[in-house]
Amino acid sequence: MFAVLPTDCASLSAMADVCVVLPFHFGTATLVIIVASMFWLWKYRWQQRGRLEPKQWPILGSGVEIATHFDTMHDWLLSYFQKGLKTFRVVLPGIVYTYTVDPANVEYILKTNFSNFPKGEVYQKNMESLLGHGIFNSDGEVWRQQRKTASLEFANRILREYSTVAFRENSIMLAEILARACQSHEAIEMQDLFMRFTLDGICKVGFGVTIGTLSSSLPVPFMKEFDNASEAVIYRFFDPFWKLKKLLNIGNEAKLADSVKVLDDFSYKVIKTRREELQLTNAQGKEKKADLLSRFILLGEDSAQNFTDKTLRDIILNFIIAGRDTTAVTLSWFVYLLGNNPDVADKIYEELHLLEKGVNVNESLPLNEKINQYSSLLSYDVLTKLQYLHAAITETIRLYPAVPQNPKGILADDILPDGTVLKKGGLVSYVPYAQARMTDVWGADANEFRPERWLKDGMFIPESPFKFNAFQAGPRICLGKDSAYLQMKMVAAVLCHFFKFQLVPGHPVKYRMTATLVMNQGVQVFVTRR
C-alpha cells in the first residue's frame, strides 16, 4: 500500500538531481513556446502592416475586428472602401466574404454571370428559419416558379387599383394620428408608426387581412418578434457555432425559435382564414379576391403547383420583409432627412400644393375632412407625376438603402471584372450603403441629401441599376418596386402636405444590425401643421 523509499545517500542525491532538472526543462520549454508564439504572431502581424484590407489573425481571421464593430458594420465596411478599395475580402473561420462597390462588378454579379451567384447554400441555411424557401431565399426552379407567379400578379391592373385604395385609406389613418399629435404637442416616434402602417398595408394588399395595427396604441407582438428574428438570423453569418446553439436551443437560437413560433402562428392563421373565405366566396359565386395570397392559393388549386400551407407561410413572411420592413425603413429615414433638410420639405410641399390648383378647397373644413378631400386627389396617375417627391424618396433610398448589403453565393471559381479572384463556396456581397457614399461613383457631393441629382429640367432621370442597386438588377430585380413607390409616395404626399417634422434634439438616430436598415431607437419628431 505504501511506496518503498530509497534509504541510501546516492539514491537520494539522484532523486534530488531529477527534481531540479525536470522543473528546469519544463519551465524552459514553456518559455520557449511562449516566446516562439509571440514572435510568430508579431511576424504575422508585421507582414500585414501595409495591408489595406481588414487585418487577420491565425484561425480567427478577421473575426475579432468584426466582433468589435458588429453594431456599426456598414460603416466599418465603408471605412475600408474609403481607403481606396473598391473590392476587398474578409476572412472568417470556414468562409471568405468578398465585398464590392464597383458598379462593373455589381453588373457582373447580378446580370452578366448571374447563374454563378445564386443565394447559395450558406445564405439559405442561415435565413431558412425566418424565410423558409420563399422567393428571397430560394434558387433554381423553386425561385423561378414563385417569381413567375408574383410577376404576373404585380402587373395585374386589378391589384394596382386595389393597392392604391388600400394605401390611401391607411395614409389617411396615419395622418389623423399625426393630427392628434399636433394638438398634444408631444413628440412622436415615426418608425413605429411606419412599421404599423406598412404591416397594415402588406396584410391588406398581400393577404386580404385587416389587422388594424394603426388603430391600436398597444405593441404588436408580430412586429417585435419579426424584428428579433431578423436580427438573430444576421448573427448566424458571423457565428460559426450557431448550429450547435440551435441544437442545444441556447442563446440567440433559443430567442429565434421563440420568435419564429409567433410568426408561424400568425401566418398559418392568416392562411386558414383565407382558405375558408375563398371556399365561401366560391360557393356563393362571388368575385375572387384581389390580394396576392388569394391569388397564390387559387393558382395552386388550379394547377400542378398545389402550394402547401408551408409554402404559403414562406411566401407570407418573404412578402412581409419586402413590403413592410423595407418601405417602413425608407419612410423613417425620409422623415429624418426632411427634419435635417427643411428646404427639401418646402420644395415637396410646393409640388404637392399645385395639385389643388383648380380644386375648390374649403378652408373652414376640419382637418380630418381636409385630409380626406386632399387624399381623394391622389390617384395612381397623379402620384406618378410628382417628380420632385419621387426624387426625394429615391435620394433617401440611395443614402439609406433598406437592404444595406446583399450577399450572393459563389457556385464556381470566378474572376470579377476588376480582377478579384472568387473561390467556390464563399460569399460575395455588393454594398449599396457604402456605394452611395463613394465620391468616385456619385461625385463630390455623394454624402449630401440632394434630390436634384435625379432631376433634369424638372423630370426624374433614373441611374444605372448597377450604380443605384437598392432594388437589385438583372433577373432578380425587385418585383415590388413600383408598389413600394406607390405606397411611399401616397403616404409622403399626404403627410408632407399637412405637416412639418422637427427632430427631437438629442435623440440618437442609429441603425440596428438586422436584415434591413432599421433604426435602433426609431426617429422622434415634433409634428406641426403647415
Question: Which residues 6+ apart lie within 8 Å of 383 measured at CB?
Answer: 486, 489, 490, 493
Buried/exposed 13-47: b ≥16 CB within 10 Å, e otherwise: eeeeeeeeeeeeeeeeeeeeeeeeeeeeeeeeeee
Kindly write down the DSSP assignment for every residue of 279-336, as one continuous string: HHHHHHTPPPP-SHHHHHHHHHHHSS----HHHHHHHHHHHHIIIIIHHHHHHHHHHH
Annotated binding-site residue? 182: no
* CB 403, CB 326: distance < 8 Å: yes
Q: Are 427 and 409 in contact (CB under 8 A)?
A: yes
d(CA 151, CA 4): 89
DSSP 112: I
CB 91 within 8 A of CB 56: yes
Cα 294-311-278 angle, rounded to 5 deg: 25
Q: How far apart, in whole angstroms, are the C-alpha atoms of residue 322 and residue 352?
A: 27
The three-state secondary structure class of 503 is strand
Measured CA to CA, the distance from residue 130 to residue 134 in angstroms comes to: 10
Q: What is the separation, in whole angstroms, between the first and last Cα of the chain?
A: 98
Query: What would the grid cell of residue 338 be?
Result: 426632411
Which residue's C-alpha cell is 392559393? 297
DSSP secondary structure string, 157-226?
HHHHHHHHHHHHHHHHHHHHHHHHHHHHT--EEHHHHHHHHHHHHHHHHHHS----GGG--S--HHHHHH
Neighbour count for residue 220 (Cβ, 10 Å): 18
Q: Which residue has the cell 404559403?
A: 312
Q: Which residues pair with 188 in a beta bridge?
A: 525
Q: Kind of pairing, strands 414-415 and 188-189?
A: unpaired
Q: Annotated binding residues for heme, as ranges? A: 478
Q: Annotated binding residues, as ranges? A: 478
